[in-house]
Amino acid sequence: MSDRRMQRGQQWLEQLLQLAKFPTGVKETAIQTIPQSSDSSQAELETYWLTIDETKLTSAQIQALVGSEGATLDAIQYLANAILNLGQEREEQTAYTIELDGYRARRQAELQELAEDAAQQVRSSGQEFEIKSLSSAERRQVHTFFQECDDLETYSRGQEPDRRLVVRLKN
């Protein structure tokens, strides 16, 4: 079943790139399993990583596909998730992450470090900490990082485009 979803995502992304006149394809894929919560009654979420082959792209094309602060890559990823899950039952839906030139992996490491810094600050001060300027996908990632923390909780505050992630001690 997961192979079918992976192939469907790969075909969709390759077709999008072809229609946009980018001379490339999807070179590798991976599956990342993310626990939904520490409650064992909830299933784990499989995220399919679709990696765009950058070897046939110029640096300008890579920059165009990534966009400012990953905005174009985020938009492609949003479309992939919306289109590929359209008409699927909730339990049949899956998450897709679009990677190009290591951008997502680098950003994930930055987010992990940001989350660790926020956790340290909240634990030492006892005060909540707001993390600004995250996309909705990045906020979701940071929420996931904190799921294993017994003493901390996160929630989102505000409205787009000024939505922030808040880290605080659990009551």
Residues 116 and 75 in one domain: no
3 state SS of 15: helix
Residues 82 and 11 in one domain: yes
- What tokens does 116 get? 């660790």
Domain CATH number, residue 111: 3.30.1370.50
Residues 69 and 15 in one domain: yes
3 state SS of 58: coil
Residues 97 and 24 in one domain: yes
Residues 54 and 74 in one domain: yes
- Predicted TM-score (pTM) of this structure: 0.80
Last residue of a domain, one of 101, 120, 142: 101
pLDDT in tens, 68-125: 989 999 999 999 999 999 998 988 888 899 999 999 999 999 999 999 999 999 999 9
Given a cut of 70, whether residue 36 has pLDDT beyond it is no
What's the pLDDT score for residue 44? 60
Last residue of a domain, one of 52, 82, 101: 101
Task: Determine whether 66 is exposed, middle or buried from the number of CB atoms within 10 Å of its CB (0-12, 13-18, 19+).
Answer: buried
**Number of compact structural domains in the chain:** 2
What's the pLDDT score for residue 161? 83
* Contact between residue 166 and residue 122 where contact means Cβ atoms under 8 Å apart: no
What's the pLDDT score for residue 1? 45
Residue 146's domain comprises: 107-169
Other Cβ atoms within 10 Å of 87 Cβ, number: 8
Considering the chain, what percentage of its residues have pLDDT values greater than 90? 70
Give the list of residues 6+ apart from residue 168 with CB closer than 8 angstroms, or none: 122, 127, 128, 129, 152, 153, 154
Domain CATH number, residue 60: 3.30.300
Give the list of residues 6+ apart from residue 13 with CB closer than 8 angstroms, or none: 26, 50, 52, 76, 80, 98
Strands (E), 83-138: 95-100, 129-131
Task: Determine whether 67 is exposed, middle or buried from the number of CB atoms within 10 Å of its CB (0-12, 13-18, 19+).
Answer: middle
Given a cut of 70, whether residue 37 has pLDDT beyond it is no
Residues 14 and 94 in one domain: yes
Residues 34 and 60 in one domain: yes
